[in-house]
């Protein structure tokens, strides 16, 4: 691969990109094992696709924000390195597909010229921090959560405590008690609150911890009903330190925060979090709320002549896609983006046409759409005309007609059956047979290609996830039907029930059956989930049971939506979690790198970071020696216990003091320069002793 020159002002970012290029080269030369390289590239937003030899690159957009220039930059990047398509995700990222691995450093470098990153968009890190798309303009919000989401994003990016955890961490900020960011389904969920203290209004958050979707959904637990704003980031840091040390690392299916909370119990989990407080980098992180650069109304001028082709659709669009901001006299408009896919060409045309009449702050929404802000009432017709000309003026944003779906078998390794094909089929049913439901924002339909819930089926009123069935010795694509999920409010939510599994081709009939039944038997003003609760899961199982009957299955049932060939399950290896590295030499190399990072942190006066790098050196080195003896460990605390038991207690390895106590000094000392340097020396000495131990053992074996 050819080297390239970066043109960046930020030396930290430039180093990141050069390091990625170096690691790719070493991987190509065979110097880095594939398993290790996978975790390296994932932490840099580069994700393997279902199709061999190409990558998906995930572009990290904190709280979904793009300036118009950033949007244009991403569109241009997609043309140059990808397929000209931008895929908007439920995590408010943008993904581009079919990218050559060797070109990813250059791609990243060009993105960073407009302050856009791919760092930690994948892998076992703090992923993109999401927020309600209405944050800052929401008429119901007590205050704008955007500055806090932004501060959290910047605080944990490249933070040593969350670079190589057992699993990913997802953080969400809702703008109000309506909880439109689904705080209850995240590792950390925040809902803004205010209270009066000594005659002053104090900002804070209701904080929820340990929620998650996936194959086993968990509702988050309330850690605080009110946590003052400056305590939020330190609290998150404390929890991440506990998760890093005690979280599962062998079985990725049990490695999320929700499983750690369940395993330890809330009281013990909370105790461990409080133990970390002494060592945390900052006891208070005050966000400069007033200085945060909020969206501003555009400098408006005249707009060109335009024509609205469908005036009736314009009125429906205004009723379903537009709302008045808390800033009186301005409106925001949602753009329904089918399946989250918008081309680079359309993106550029929208940017140029809309620039004079919208704010320089477009938000990617959590249901794969876009939000345009600060539109004057007089400019709404023009905005609609621009969207209409590009085919993006569909009404019914966030209604039953606006279906959320992950990419499914189009590109994902883990998908079992199609998400996008069935989503299109269901939207066609609604448009053709239930057109009035374009106004219904109570019922949400969400689809995932597998049980992992990237399409959020687990919190849908009507959810589907990809599966398979057997009939006559052959496999056919199937859909697991889930019902009754959704938002309750103020951090409370509902997990959908698994009701029945049907052939994928019968998905449209499932929807018809459910909607007709609700239409006929639902009571006046009864919401869908209320109707589901009243009738009960068994009722719906019996209602849909005829559609699960395989006795009269037809040949087309063996062809998945959007496919021409007979269905066959072809599940690859998932990359959402890092791989457990069992290679001793690689682990020791990592330990050495941590020591080098520690030295650099000290040179900058970043003693808390240097301490954490030293801690990682202890853990990685001990794990390497244990694996050399065939002893596998599934948590960091387990590594410390097992090393004490198998090396220190047996006399195999000489260590001054109690090993576990020495290592865990990390959470019993303030991060002072004196402690940092003493602790670092202990870690470096341990690493050198471990290397000598390996050399001696190798010599003994050879003799």
DSSP state of 75: H
C-alpha–C-alpha distance, residues 235 and 241, integer Å:
10
Distances from the Cα of 240 to the Cαs of 282, 582, 627, 634, in angstroms?
14, 24, 25, 17
Domain boundaries for CATH 3.30.413.10 within the chain: 138-279, 404-558
pLDDT (mean) for 12-22: 85
Query: Are 178 and 139 spatial neighbours (Cβ–Cβ below 8 Å)?
Result: no
In terms of Cβ atoms closer than 10 Å to its own Cβ (0-12, 13-18, 19+), residue 344 is: buried
Query: Are 324 and 261 spatial neighbours (Cβ–Cβ below 8 Å)?
Result: no
pLDDT tens-digit profile of 119-151?
A: 999 889 999 999 999 999 999 999 999 999 999
- Under 8 Å CB-to-CB from 379, ≥6 apart: which residues? 300, 303, 357
C-alpha–C-alpha distance, residues 246 and 264, integer Å:
9
Domain boundaries for CATH 3.90.480.20 within the chain: 11-112
Other residues' Cβ atoms within 10 Å of the Cβ of residue 688? 12
C-alpha–C-alpha distance, residues 213 and 184, integer Å:
10
C-alpha–C-alpha distance, residues 55 and 50, integer Å:
9
Assess whether pLDDT exceeds 60 at residue 657.
Answer: yes
CATH number among 3.40.640.10, 3.20.20.70, 3.90.480.20, 3.40.50.460, domain 11-112: 3.90.480.20
Under the banding of pLDDT at 50, 70 and 90, the label for residue 1 is: very low
C-alpha–C-alpha distance, residues 222 and 211, integer Å:
10
Under the banding of pLDDT at 50, 70 and 90, the label for residue 9 is: low
pLDDT > 90 in the chain, percent: 74
> What is the per-residue pLDDT for 5?
46
pLDDT tens-digit profile of 337-346?
A: 998 999 999 9
E-state strands within 275-368: 322-324, 331-335, 341-343, 362-364
Higher pLDDT, 459 or 50: 459
C-alpha–C-alpha distance, residues 224 and 190, integer Å:
10
Query: Are 156 and 112 spatial neighbours (Cβ–Cβ below 8 Å)?
Result: no
Query: Are 510 and 465 spatial neighbours (Cβ–Cβ below 8 Å)?
Result: no
C-alpha–C-alpha distance, residues 281 and 258, integer Å:
25
- Under 8 Å CB-to-CB from 694, ≥6 apart: which residues? 584, 588, 625, 628
Assess whether pLDDT exceeds 70 at residue 703.
Answer: no
C-alpha–C-alpha distance, residues 694 and 696, integer Å:
5
Assess whether pLDDT exceeds 70 at residue 52.
Answer: yes
Indicate yes or no: pTM above 0.85. Answer: yes
C-alpha–C-alpha distance, residues 578 and 574, integer Å:
9
Under the banding of pLDDT at 50, 70 and 90, the label for residue 397 is: very high
Per-residue exposure over 449-481, b if at least 16 CB sit within 10 Å of its own CB, e if not:
bbbbbbbbbbbbbbbbbbbbbeeeeeebbbbbb
Lowest-confidence pick of 298-307, 421-430, 620-629: 298-307
pLDDT (mean) for 507-533: 97
Domain boundaries for CATH 1.20.120.330 within the chain: 584-702
Query: Are 476 and 171 spatial neighbours (Cβ–Cβ below 8 Å)?
Result: no
In terms of Cβ atoms closer than 10 Å to its own Cβ (0-12, 13-18, 19+), residue 307 is: exposed
Lowest-confidence pick of 143-147, 166-170, 292-296, 388-392: 292-296
H helices of 183-333, where? 232-246, 257-264, 266-275, 311-321
pLDDT tens-digit profile of 68-81?
A: 999 999 999 999 99
> What is the per-residue pLDDT for 416?
81
Please choose, from the candidates 481, 456, 457, the residue with its C-alpha nearest in 3D space to the C-alpha of residue 469: 481
Lowest-confidence pick of 287-296, 352-361, 602-611, 658-667: 287-296
In the block, which residue shows the tokens 């079985």?
A: 251
H helices of 276-418, where? 311-321, 344-354, 380-389
C-alpha–C-alpha distance, residues 272 and 238, integer Å:
9
> What is the per-residue pLDDT for 580?
35
Higher pLDDT, 701 or 274: 274
Other residues' Cβ atoms within 10 Å of the Cβ of residue 512? 17
Under the banding of pLDDT at 50, 70 and 90, the label for residue 393 is: very high
- Under 8 Å CB-to-CB from 444, ≥6 apart: which residues? 398, 400, 404, 459, 460, 461, 462, 486
> CATH says 584-702 is which class?
mainly alpha
pLDDT tens-digit profile of 535-579?
A: 999 999 999 999 999 998 888 889 888 887 787 765 554 554 433
* Tokens coding 703: 């003799």
Assess whether pLDDT exceeds 80 at residue 8.
Answer: no
Average pLDDT, the chain: 91
- Under 8 Å CB-to-CB from 431, ≥6 apart: which residues? 401
C-alpha–C-alpha distance, residues 168 and 166, integer Å:
7
Partners of residue 566 on adjacent β-strands = 559
Please choose, from the candidates 152, 100, 145, 89, the residue with its C-alpha nearest in 3D space to the C-alpha of residue 122: 89
Query: Are 17 and 6 spatial neighbours (Cβ–Cβ below 8 Å)?
Result: yes
Question: Within 13 Å of residue 126, how many CA atoms lie on the same side as its CB?
Answer: 27
C-alpha–C-alpha distance, residues 395 and 400, integer Å:
11
> What is the per-residue pLDDT for 138?
98
E-state strands within 20-149: 46-48, 55-59, 65-66, 85-88, 94-99, 130-131
> What is the per-residue pLDDT for 455?
85
Please choose, from the candidates 75, 41, 71, 37, the residue with its C-alpha nearest in 3D space to the C-alpha of residue 56: 41
- Under 8 Å CB-to-CB from 439, ≥6 apart: which residues? 316, 319, 320, 396, 399
pLDDT (mean) for 364-376: 96
Q: Is 34 helix (H, G, I), strand (E, B) or coil?
A: helix
pLDDT tens-digit profile of 105-121?
A: 999 999 999 999 999 99
pLDDT > 70 in the chain, percent: 95
pLDDT (mean) for 187-198: 96
Query: Are 335 and 397 spatial neighbours (Cβ–Cβ below 8 Å)?
Result: yes
pLDDT (mean) for 311-329: 97
Q: What number of residues does the chain have? A: 703
Assess whether pLDDT exceeds 70 at residue 223.
Answer: yes
C-alpha–C-alpha distance, residues 82 and 96, integer Å:
6
Lowest-confidence pick of 38-47, 146-155, 673-682: 38-47
Distances from the Cα of 96 to the Cαs of 47, 137, 254, 419, in angstroms?
10, 29, 29, 18
Sign of CA dihedral 444, 262, 214, 451: negative
Assess whether pLDDT exceeds 90 at residue 221.
Answer: yes
CATH number among 3.20.20.70, 3.10.450.50, 3.90.480.10, 3.40.720.10, domain 311-389: 3.90.480.10
> What is the per-residue pLDDT for 583?
59
C-alpha–C-alpha distance, residues 134 and 330, integer Å:
13
Assess whether pLDDT exceeds 60 at residue 4.
Answer: no
> What is the per-residue pLDDT for 568?
73
Assess whether pLDDT exceeds 70 at residue 412.
Answer: yes
Fold of 138-279: Sulfite Reductase Hemoprotein; domain 1 (3.30.413)
Other residues' Cβ atoms within 10 Å of the Cβ of residue 188? 27
Domain boundaries for CATH 3.90.480.10 within the chain: 311-389
CATH number among 3.30.413.10, 3.80.10.10, 3.40.1160.10, 3.10.580.10, domain 404-558: 3.30.413.10
């Amino acid at each position: 691969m050819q080297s390239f020159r970066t043109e960046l002002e930020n030396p930290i970012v430039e180093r990141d990109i050069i390091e990625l290029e170096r690691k790719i080269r070493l991987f190509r030369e065979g110097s880095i094992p594939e398993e290790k390289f996978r975790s390296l590239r994932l932490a840099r937003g580069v994700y393997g696709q279902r199709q061999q030899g190409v990558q998906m690159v995930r572009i990290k957009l904190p709280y979904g924000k793009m300036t118009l220039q950033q949007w244009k930059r991403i569109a241009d990047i997609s043309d140059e390195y990808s397929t000209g398509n931008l895929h908007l995700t439920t995590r408010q990222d943008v993904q581009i597909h079919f990218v050559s691995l060797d070109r990813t450093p250059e791609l990243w470098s060009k993105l960073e010229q407009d302050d856009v990153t791919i760092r930690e968009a994948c892998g076992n890190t703090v992923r993109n921090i999401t927020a309600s798309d209405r944050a800052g303009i929401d008429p119901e919000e007590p205050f704008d959560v955007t500055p806090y989401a932004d501060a959290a994003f910047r605080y944990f990016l490249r933070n040593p405590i969350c670079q190589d955890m057992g699993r990913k961490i997802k953080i969400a900020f809702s703008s109000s008690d309506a909880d439109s960011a689904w705080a209850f389904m995240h590792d950390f969920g925040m809902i803004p609150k205010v209270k009066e203290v000594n005659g002053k209004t104090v900002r804070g958050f209701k904080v929820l911890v340990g929620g998650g979707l996936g194959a086993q959904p968990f509702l988050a637990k309330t850690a605080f009903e009110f946590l003052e704003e400056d305590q939020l980031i330190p609290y998150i840091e404390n929890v991440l330190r506990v998760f890093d040390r005690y979280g599962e690392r062998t079985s990725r299916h049990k490695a999320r925060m929700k499983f750690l909370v369940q395993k330890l119990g809330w009281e013990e989990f909370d105790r461990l979090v409080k133990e970390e407080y002494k060592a945390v980098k900052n006891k208070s992180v005050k966000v400069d709320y007033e200085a945060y650069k909020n969206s501003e109304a555009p400098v408006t001028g005249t707009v060109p002549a335009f024509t609205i082709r469908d005036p009736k659709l314009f009125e429906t669009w205004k009723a379903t896609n537009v709302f008045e901001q808390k800033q009186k006299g301005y409106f925001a408009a949602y753009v329904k983006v089918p399946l989250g896919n918008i081309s680079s060409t359309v993106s550029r045309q929208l940017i140029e046409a809309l620039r004079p009449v919208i704010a320089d702050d477009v938000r990617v929404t959590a249901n794969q759409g876009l939000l345009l802000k600060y539109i004057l009432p007089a400019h709404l017709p023009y905005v609609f005309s621009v969207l209409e000309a590009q085919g993006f003026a569909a009404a019914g944003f966030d209604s039953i007609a606006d279906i959320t779906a992950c990419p499914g078998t189009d590109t994902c390794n883990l998908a079992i059956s199609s998400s996008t094909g069935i989503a299109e089929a269901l939207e066609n049913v609604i448009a053709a047979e239930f057109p009035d439901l374009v106004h219904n924002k109570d019922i949400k339909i969400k689809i995932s290609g597998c049980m992992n819930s990237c399409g959020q089926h687990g919190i849908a009123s009507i959810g589907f996830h990809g599966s398979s069935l057997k009939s006559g010795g052959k496999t056919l694509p199937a859909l697991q039907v889930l019902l009754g999920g959704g938002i309750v409010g103020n951090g409370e939510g509902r997990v959908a029930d698994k009701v029945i599994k049907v052939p994928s081709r019968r998905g449209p009939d499932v929807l018809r059956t459910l909607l007709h039944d609700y239409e006929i038997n639902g009571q006046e003003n009864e919401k869908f989930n209320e109707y589901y609760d009243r009738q009960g899961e068994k009722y719906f199982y019996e209602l849909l049971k005829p559609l699960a009957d395989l006795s009269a299955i037809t040949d087309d049932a063996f062809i998945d939506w959007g496919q021409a060939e007979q269905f066959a399950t072809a599940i690859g290896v998932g990359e959402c979690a890092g791989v457990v590295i069992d290679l001793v030499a690689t682990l020791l190399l990592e330990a050495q790198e941590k020591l080098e990072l520690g030295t650099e942190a000290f040179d900058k006066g970043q003693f808390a970071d240097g301490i954490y790098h030293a801690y990682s050196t202890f853990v990685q080195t001990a794990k390497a020696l244990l694996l050399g003896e065939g002893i596998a460990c599934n948590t960091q605390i387990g590594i410390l216990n097992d090393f004490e038991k198998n090396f220190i207690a047996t006399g195999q390895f000489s260590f001054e003091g109690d090993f576990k106590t020495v290592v865990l000094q990390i959470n019993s000392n303030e991060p002072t320069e004196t402690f940092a340097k003493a602790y670092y020396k202990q870690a470096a000495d341990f690493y050198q002793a471990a290397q000598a131990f390996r050399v001696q053992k190798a010599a003994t074996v050879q003799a």
